[in-house]
Structure 1
Amino acid sequence: MRTITKKPEVLAPGGTLEKLKTAIHYGADAVYIGGEAYGLRTRAGNFDYEEMAEAVAFAHSHGSKVYVAANMVTHEGNEEGAGDFFRTIRDIGIDAVLISDPALMEIAVTDAPGLPIHLSTQASATNYQTLNFWETEGLERVVLAREVSMEEIKEMNEKTNVEIEAFVHGAMCISYSGRCVLSNHMSNRDANRGGCAQSCRWKYGLFDMPLLGEQNPVGAGEEGIEEPFSMSAVDLSMLEHIPDLVESGVDSLKIEGRMKSIHYVSTAVNVYRKAVDAYCADPDNYELKQEWVDELWKVAQRELATGFFYQEPTEDEQLFGQRRKIPRYGFIGQVMAYDPETQMATIQQRNNFGVGDEIEFYGPGLRHSKQTVEAMWDENDESIDRAPNAMMTVKMKVNTPVERHDMIRKKR
């Protein structure tokens, strides 16, 4: 009987304090967040120092870690104040900082000694020599470029001692791990300093221009072609290949999505937690369950593929032409309290739902239950047919016991 000696951590996005706590409730070993400066997600709900302190206290009390992304590419002047920033997050208790720019690394080492540094994926580490270089510079972990294959990861693990972190789920950048200037050119928003406009996700026309001023659309009108040209990549999903990831020696399995919802975060963490635990507990008898795959598709925003892990992506990993049908579910609420004697659940509503809707409850460990809403009441115990107002309190009787922090969704 085989025994797994190194169980990889499940690393989740924490775009806000609520998302961070949700990720940990649903099984994340670690969560990565952004501060108010030096990161690449200026539109995410980035953390101030007070929120960081609360995040660290909550995570550490649950046996989880918190990493801060400070992975921007600095231009002259962008590094101002970085010493105070790194020193403060070190003193708060942040477990590591993710950096790509050597200037910021030097500042972190000099001004905040003792703060562990992880190399960000923005640095595009793609070979073991690179990993060994960064290890000699004192880095504890390298987040690999998304363009690395499974075989390359195995070789890296054999020839280096630095920890390896790899993206396993979420959005893929069309450029080389984020080294993109499309956004700068098209919208004057610097992707490498936190302002990406997602230009690769836009729809484009493709034209044949044989003569000056002449434009002949290519592909227009062809059956099933929504747009004739696209740079948008499908999303990454390695759920079906957990054994390969564990056996390759990856130390951390990273889920992308700091700007995504608690519905996405809770579902993705829930599924990967279940799969990793199942394989590491009994690798000889491990079996991928279809219900795990189906669960991930409930929060899929795009089609899913394995990125660069097994082959060079082809046109099948690009989003253009007729879409595959993806079942979409809407997040409608979260359980705030449950009374087992009356079987009444108190719910914080997030999206419109009402009497007659078929809804699904789910919680950590992939607990599930479905039922039709037969009756509901507002916070004043007055009967209502629908819950149309965001964040309103709703009470309803449930057929199966639920728990605080359980989520509720319905099929659109």
Structure 2
Amino acid sequence: MKKVELLAPAGSLAKLKTAIFFGADAVYCGGLNFGLRAGADNFTIAELKAGIEFAHQKDKKVYMTLNMIPHNQELAKLPDYLNQIKELQLDALIISDPGVLSLVKKSMPEMEIHISTQANNVNWAAALFWAEQGADRIILARELGKTEINEITAKTKNQAEIEVFVHGAMCISYSGRCLLSNYLVGRDANKGDCAQSCRWQYHLVEAKRPGEYYPIVENEQGTFIMNSRDLNLAEEIPELIEAGVSSLKIEGRMKSIHYTATVVNTYRQLIDGYYADPAHYQPDPDLLAELTKISHRDYTKGFYYGKPGSDGQRYQSSSYVRSYDFMGVIRDYDLKKAEILVEVRNKIFTGDQLEIITPGRKSFTIRVDYLIDQASDQQIETAPHPKQLVRIPAPDFIKPGSLLRRIKEDQ
């Protein structure tokens, strides 16, 4: 059985390295043009080259998004952009528009092609159509249930790989095609500039009664009628693998390094746990709990078990659940002193209990018995400055690149 790919988001070069460090088999990222995450840091040509070299040294892959739906004036710029990226040794391009596919095939005939979820891939005939046009992989729409996924993988076997989203934000639109943001604030979601208008607070007001609000849902904050919960299919990993899905995709190019590390590390261990003993596999509850420690909205299974209906939305608030703070990155481990060198992100105090996120292991806790400022070599009570380097005792070896977090005080 070919092992399923774990595909992670890379909104920046640092996030690319984090995803690979924590166990991703491949990452997807966007260049400065033609992607659908205009708000992400995205990659210059030089950064793409550096990221690809880093990934290939680790025997991992890099896919780049060209899944914007371009108008004529934008399409005219595509040939020059393709000339810039054709020597980069990308492993695949993610495309949604037939015109873009046609130009890519002419300019880069050997390039592997993945058809974006933006192309609304909801049936096996569409998947086979794209395969006939030279696509190597089809990224399915998130509006599909497990029976539909099973039928698509069965009928496309040996024709094209199938990729499925398993974790991350859901969109109120149909597979990402939405005009609400464009209509309300002139920001086009189909060109990567979504304002997430669906998550705003809305009230019902009668034209001749300004200021008199009629609640759609009894809530003093208004209503969040289009505020989808986040997707979480961690428990469905065995079914997806057995269905013949080739790649399990995590959403979140605009999320934090802490999000990337935690989600990738969790799915990596769950996938590996399944392959270690498929017949007796049960998802580890401790690993599933890790997914509640990142910034997220309440979770849903999406369309996997049928149309979610009202249970797929969160009506009380559009805010995230944030139960932990990201505290720092471990830059080194001193075996002789049994200390970690930490680059601070949030204020650390002597006496803190910090959780460690490290590749291939469940998170575990250490106590900050003392803090030593690296620059002055003096003991301090608190490390208040972002990017400050401090030393903290750690009895066991902890891999550099691991992260620290702390439960919020109000939890």
Q: What TM-score comes out, normalization by structure 1 length? A: 0.94
Alignment correspondent of 2:152: 156
1:373 counterpart letter in structure 2: V
In 1, Cα distance between equivalents of 2:31 and 2:318: 37
Alignment correspondent of 2:167: 169
Alignment correspondent of 2:370: 375
Alignment correspondent of 1:48: 44
For residue 304 of structure 2, give the secondary structure of its aligned residue in structure 1. Answer: coil
In 2, Cα distance between equivalents of 1:214 and 1:405: 55
1:193/1:327 CA distance change after superposition, 3 Å: closer
2:349 aligned with 1:354, yes or no? yes
In 1, Cα distance between equivalents of 2:268 and 2:16: 15
Aligned length: 405
2:241 aligned with 1:243, yes or no? no
Output aligned runs, 1:258-277, within 5 Å: 258-277=253-272
User: Which residue of 170, 187, 192 corresponds with 2:190?
Assistant: 192
Q: What TM-score comes out, normalization by structure 2 length? A: 0.94
1:229/1:370 CA distance change after superposition, 3 Å: closer
In 1, Cα distance between equivalents of 2:320 and 2:284: 21
For residue 93 of structure 2, give the secondary structure of its aligned residue in structure 1. Answer: strand
Which whole-Å deviations, capped at 9, do the CAs of 1:28-84 have from their partners, x for residues lacking one?
000000001001111111111111111111111111100001110101210123123
User: Which residue of 142, 148, 172 corresponds with 1:146?
Assistant: 142
Alignment correspondent of 1:131: 127
In 2, Cα distance between equivalents of 1:133 and 1:368: 44
2:271 aligned with 1:296, yes or no? no
In 2, Cα distance between equivalents of 1:251 and 1:113: 23
For residue 297 of structure 1, give the secondary structure of its aligned residue in structure 2. Answer: coil
1:289 counterpart letter in structure 2: D
1:231/1:23 CA distance change after superposition, 3 Å: same
1:225–1:320 contact (8 Å) kept in structure 2: no
2:201 counterpart letter in structure 1: K
The offset of 1:206, in angstroms, is 2.9
1:16–1:46 contact (8 Å) kept in structure 2: yes
In 1, Cα distance between equivalents of 2:210 and 2:194: 32
Alignment correspondent of 2:11: 15
User: Which residue of 396, 400, 404 corresponds with 1:404?
Assistant: 400
2:343–2:390 contact (8 Å) kept in structure 1: yes
The offset of 1:205, in angstroms, is 1.5
1:338/1:113 CA distance change after superposition, 3 Å: same
- Identical counterparts, % of pairs: 41
Runs of 4+ more than 4 Å apart: 322-327
For residue 165 of structure 1, give the secondary structure of its aligned residue in structure 2. Answer: strand
2:58 aligned with 1:62, yes or no? yes
2:199–2:224 contact (8 Å) kept in structure 1: no
Alignment correspondent of 1:321: 316
1:165 counterpart letter in structure 2: E
The offset of 1:354, in angstroms, is 1.4
The offset of 1:366, in angstroms, is 2.2
In 1, Cα distance between equivalents of 2:295 and 2:135: 34
Alignment correspondent of 1:306: 301
Which whole-Å deviations, capped at 9, do the CAs of 1:184-208 have from their partners, x for residues lacking one?
111111110111111111111234x
Alignment correspondent of 2:229: 234
In 1, Cα distance between equivalents of 2:87 and 2:312: 43
Alignment correspondent of 1:282: 277
Alignment correspondent of 1:204: 202
Which whole-Å deviations, capped at 9, do the CAs of 1:342-372 have from their partners, x for residues lacking one?
1111111111221122111120012433122
1:384/1:243 CA distance change after superposition, 3 Å: same
2:391 aligned with 1:395, yes or no? yes
In 2, Cα distance between equivalents of 1:6 and 1:303: 33
For residue 336 of structure 1, give the secondary structure of its aligned residue in structure 2. Answer: strand
In 2, Cα distance between equivalents of 1:323 and 1:199: 11
1:358 counterpart letter in structure 2: Q
Name structure 1 gaps, 5 residues minimum. none
1:214/1:404 CA distance change after superposition, 3 Å: closer
2:10–2:29 contact (8 Å) kept in structure 1: yes
User: Which residue of 36, 53, 71 corresponds with 1:75?
Assistant: 71
1:33 counterpart letter in structure 2: C
1:83–1:112 contact (8 Å) kept in structure 2: no
Which whole-Å deviations, capped at 9, do the CAs of 1:278-319 have from their partners, x for residues lacking one?
112211010111101111110141101110111101212111
Alignment correspondent of 1:29: 25
In 1, Cα distance between equivalents of 2:357 and 2:3: 25
In 1, Cα distance between equivalents of 2:44 and 2:56: 18
The offset of 1:88, in angstroms, is 3.2
Give the CA RMSD over aligned residues: 1.9
In 2, Cα distance between equivalents of 1:245 and 1:220: 37
2:340 aligned with 1:345, yes or no? yes
